[in-house]
Structure 1
Amino acid sequence: MQGKKAEEGTKNAKKVNLFDHNSLKHMLDESVSEIVTSRGYVEDARMSNVRLFIGTVIIVIALFAEFYKKKFPGNRDFLIGCIGSVTSTGLVVSSKLPRFSDLYTLNIKSGDPRSISAGKPVEFSKSVTQWFTKDGVLVEGLFWKDVEALIDDYLGEPKKKK
């Protein structure tokens, strides 16, 4: 019976190959996404969808411009009219894990820094060795604690005493 419980515990554990840089970063990024959404923030996929749509439109425009009757100086106004930008507000969470490095850097900042509700940007850098066992299992409790402390720091909430 004890063996079954131990097996079930390892099935739920997030395990990764410690020598695979991309899978390490992916695992940590997915965990950050879980933590941020558990704090009440909603993941906004609209920006990704807008980027895909804009990319498709740009490809169509590029094809149209390629076969347009006029060459570059003549179609300049048409091309300028096709350029635009999209802005968004909200929480921006980004991470870095440089190749051949064990330092994972997590940044949290406002999507609109000019907003009154925007907090000051915060970040931390820690070695991934602090969150993984020798077998490559993510110790979620430690990682959640660090990420939640960073979110609290961004929100300006006082640190919790042990």
Structure 2
Amino acid sequence: MAKEKGELKEGEKGGDEKLEAKDDVKIDKWDGTALKNALDDKVRKIFTEKYKYVECHKLMDIRLTICVTAVSAAMFALVYDYLNPFPASKFVLITCVLTYFALMGVLTLYTTFIEKGIFLVAKHTDPIGMDPTKVFTVTSVLKRFDDNYHLSIEYNDGKPGSKTIEASFTKSVANWFDENGVLTDRFENDVNALHNQLESGKKTN
């Protein structure tokens, strides 16, 4: 007998089930780095896909620029020394080596005092240009051998004279992952609550 329209073969899933399976985030729950990356990626997805904010890559671009410049100095030293063998390349090698280590120092200071764990800067621009651009700066911390994930969001509505407010929470990752290592909707609910607190003008610590 011919298969009726809408009938599924054995083992075949419907479209909604396929989408749900595709969206599931499953990781090794004993891997702290994987846990943090999964949670950070979920926060980024909530802000860019659910709220339709635009991610600003300025912080990452600056870091990449520093790294590329340092690597370029090292590569230039390598090529120059190949074309002009030591000792003819001595002063160029010294300059490039000092430049490389100086830039690595700059990179360390930059990631420590400027990035400070920031993994997302999201902006919301009024489509008609009447309201100023709102900025959300998101930071997270999950220390090694610790199950407590700290999420902090700073918010500035862009109005002249307005102050940046902050909301945060610290919870065990066990609240959000099931026994199979799948990220549940509870995490998105917590992030949404934090977002809504900021938009309502409330500040939490």
Query: Given the two structures, how large is their TM-score scaled by the length of structure 2?
Result: 0.55
Q: Residue type of the partner of 1:130?
A: N
Contact 2:156 2:165 in 1 (8 A): no
Deviation of 1:46 after TM superposition, in Å, equals 2.7
Q: Residue type of the partner of 1:56?
A: V
Deviation of 1:93 after TM superposition, in Å, equals 0.2
Is 2:26 the partner of 1:15? Answer: yes
Aligned to 1:156: 200
Residues 19 and 117 (structure 1), Cα distance of their counterparts in 2 relative to 1, 3 Å cut: same
Q: How many residues align?
A: 142
Q: Residue type of the partner of 2:198?
A: Y
Q: Which has the larger radius of gyration?
A: 2
Q: Residue type of the partner of 2:197?
A: D
Deviation of 1:60 after TM superposition, in Å, equals 6.1
Which of structures 1 and 2 has the larger relative contact order (alpha carbons within 8 angstroms, sep 6+)? 1
Hey, what's the Cα distance between the residues in 2 that align with 1:135 and 1:58?
42
Hey, what's the Cα distance between the residues in 2 that align with 1:21 and 1:34?
20
Aligned to 2:52: 40
Residues 46 and 34 (structure 1), Cα distance of their counterparts in 2 relative to 1, 3 Å cut: same
Identical pairs, percent: 32
Contact 1:119 1:155 in 2 (8 A): no
Aligned to 2:129: none
Q: Residue type of the partner of 1:136?
A: G
Aligned to 1:73: none
Deviation of 1:10 after TM superposition, in Å, equals 3.6
Hey, what's the Cα distance between the residues in 2 that align with 1:60 and 1:12?
39
Contact 2:141 2:151 in 1 (8 A): yes
Q: How well do the aligned residues superpose, as a CA RMSD in angstroms? A: 3.7
Contact 1:94 1:108 in 2 (8 A): yes
| Matches for 1:6-155 after TM superposition, within 5 Å | 8=18, 9-37=20-48, 38-57=50-69, 66-67=94-95, 90-110=135-155, 116-139=161-184, 141-155=185-199
Task: Write 1 or 2 for the structure with the bigger share of strand.
Answer: 2
Q: Residue type of the partner of 1:142?
A: R
Which of the residues 12, 24, 28 maps onto 1:4?
A: 12
Query: Given the two structures, how large is their TM-score scaled by the length of structure 1?
Result: 0.68
Specify every segment of 5 or more residues in structure 2 that has no aligned partner in the other structure, as ranges. Answer: 1-7, 78-91, 97-101, 115-120, 124-134
Contact 1:18 1:24 in 2 (8 A): yes
